Amino acid sequence: MNAIRETNFQFPGQTGFYRGKVRDVYSLGDRLVMIASDRISAFDHILPRAIPHKGAVLNQIAAYSLQSTRDICPNWLISSPDPNVAIGWRCEPVRVEMVIRGYLAGHAARTYASGLRTLCGVTLPKGLRESDPFPEPIITPTTKAEEGHDEDISREGILSSGLVSAEDYAQMESYTRALFQRGTEMAAAQGLILVDTKYEFGKKDGQIVLMDEIHTPDSSRYFYADGYAQRQERGERQRQLSKEFVREWLIANGFQGKDGQQMPTMPDAFVKEISDRYIELFEKVTGRLFVKDDSKNMTARIEENVLAALALI
């Protein structure tokens, strides 16, 4: 199975390069070329094998979602000239991630189960069960760490520390709620429930701008709407649309990213299963058919498409 592990391009006017966990980012002055590789990470570790089509899935979901929300909030994206590529404006990142939650799940559920009834300064209602909806979505920000893990922070903590001005934070809150409402409506049209997600913002020419990917299974949690109420009533786990199954496989094979643990070998059958699941995610989230590219030289295709797009900007 052909997959893109990494890229090593030298584009005209290139001024910098950064390799993240999943994306290779090329700087060209005030623009960025982000190439979504097929690397996959879990527990803050990059897994040893790349997953065919994963990068194209995430990049295309993100582009679809950014284009579908541009009327709500300006964003960084200029174009997506290739299934694995997004070209956009360089922005100055705001060092806060806006996490918004419609349901008690994930980190919020673990906090609640520990007995705490506040999260990031937000009071949580009493009597909730895991996967229950909140009376209204709550915003639980985190710091955006340069290294290591992001940390929970309250609105008051953000403002008192000067991480973000009161005016900019109010704008980010407003955008976050409106984007989550749009994402919720788009998910519902596909038979899904948008449980929680995160938005990253930056500033360009003094304006708050939405950055990075949005509403992808790597940055969001979805439940299947069909059977949700019945599963809640019976106290069963909800069916999720996310990469949680990858984490579960790693845990079952003795790996959670802790010191001394060895990354398990991923057999071909599991790599194919992950690939198939990501394609299923794309089609379920967007309602569109995923078109595979199984050509032997995908990097040549990417380079050709990026150069053609840059010539038009």
**What CATH number is associated with residue 279?**
3.30.200.20
Token pair 């449980």 is found at 195
267-280 average pLDDT score: 93
The answer on 268 and 156 residing in a single domain is: no
The answer on 221 and 276 residing in a single domain is: no
**Going by C-beta distance under 8 Å and a sequence separation of 6 or more, which residues neighbour residue 76?**
32, 88, 89, 91, 202, 204, 209, 210, 211, 212
Confidence band (pLDDT; 50, 70, 90) for 295? confident
Half-sphere exposure in the Cβ direction for 113 (13 Å, CA)? 10
The answer on 203 and 152 residing in a single domain is: yes
**Going by C-beta distance under 8 Å and a sequence separation of 6 or more, which residues neighbour residue 105?**
130, 131, 195, 196, 221, 238
- What is the spatial order of strands in the sheet that 77-82 belongs to? 16-19, 23-28, 31-36, 85-89, 77-82
The answer on 59 and 123 residing in a single domain is: no
What is the percentage of the chain residues whose pLDDT exceeds 70? 98
- Give me the count of residues in the chain: 313
pTM above 0.85, yes or no: yes
The answer on 140 and 76 residing in a single domain is: no
Instruction: Give which of 128, 206, 136, 194 is closest to 165, Cα–Cα.
Output: 206
The model's pLDDT over 142-193, given as tens digits with 9 standing for 90+, comes to 997 665 567 899 999 999 999 999 999 999 999 999 999 999 999 999 999 9
The answer on 86 and 115 residing in a single domain is: no
In a domain, 178, yes or no: yes
**What pLDDT score was predicted for residue 1?**
65
Domains held by the chain: number: 2
Give 152's strand partners. 142
- For the chain, the average pLDDT equals 93
The model's pLDDT over 105-121, given as tens digits with 9 standing for 90+, comes to 988 999 999 999 999 99
14-22 average pLDDT score: 94
Confidence band (pLDDT; 50, 70, 90) for 103? very high
52-80 average pLDDT score: 96
- Residue 79 domain boundaries: 16-90+246-254+264-312
**What pLDDT score was predicted for residue 120?**
97
In a domain, 295, yes or no: yes
**What pLDDT score was predicted for residue 296?**
82
Instruction: 40-44: list long-range contacts, CB under 8 Å, 24+ apart.
Output: 40/243, 40/246, 40/274, 42/243, 42/246, 42/247, 42/250, 42/257, 43/247, 43/250, 43/255, 43/256, 43/257, 44/149, 44/257
In a domain, 174, yes or no: yes
**What CATH number is associated with residue 130?**
3.30.470.20
The answer on 100 and 232 residing in a single domain is: yes
Confidence band (pLDDT; 50, 70, 90) for 313? confident
The answer on 180 and 121 residing in a single domain is: yes
The model's pLDDT over 56-67, given as tens digits with 9 standing for 90+, comes to 999 999 999 999
The answer on 207 and 149 residing in a single domain is: yes
255-280 average pLDDT score: 92
With a cut of 90, say whether residue 2 has pLDDT above it. no
The model's pLDDT over 4-13, given as tens digits with 9 standing for 90+, comes to 999 999 999 9
Instruction: Give which of 36, 41, 6 is closest to 21, Cα–Cα.
Output: 41
The structure tokens listed for 191 are 């038979």
**What pLDDT score was predicted for residue 17?**
97
The answer on 144 and 67 residing in a single domain is: no
The answer on 250 and 236 residing in a single domain is: no
Query: How far is 140 from 138, CA to CA, in rounded Å?
Result: 6
In a domain, 10, yes or no: no
Helix (H, G, I), strand (E, B) or coil at 5: coil
With a cut of 80, say whether residue 206 has pLDDT above it. yes
The answer on 230 and 105 residing in a single domain is: yes
**What pLDDT score was predicted for residue 33?**
98
Q: Give me the sign of the Cα torsion angle 239, 242, 248, 253.
A: positive
* DSSP letter string, 200-266: EEEEETTEEEEES--S-TTTEEEEESTTHHHHHHHTPPPPEESSHHHHHHHHHTT-SS-TTPPPPP-
With a cut of 90, say whether residue 243 has pLDDT above it. no
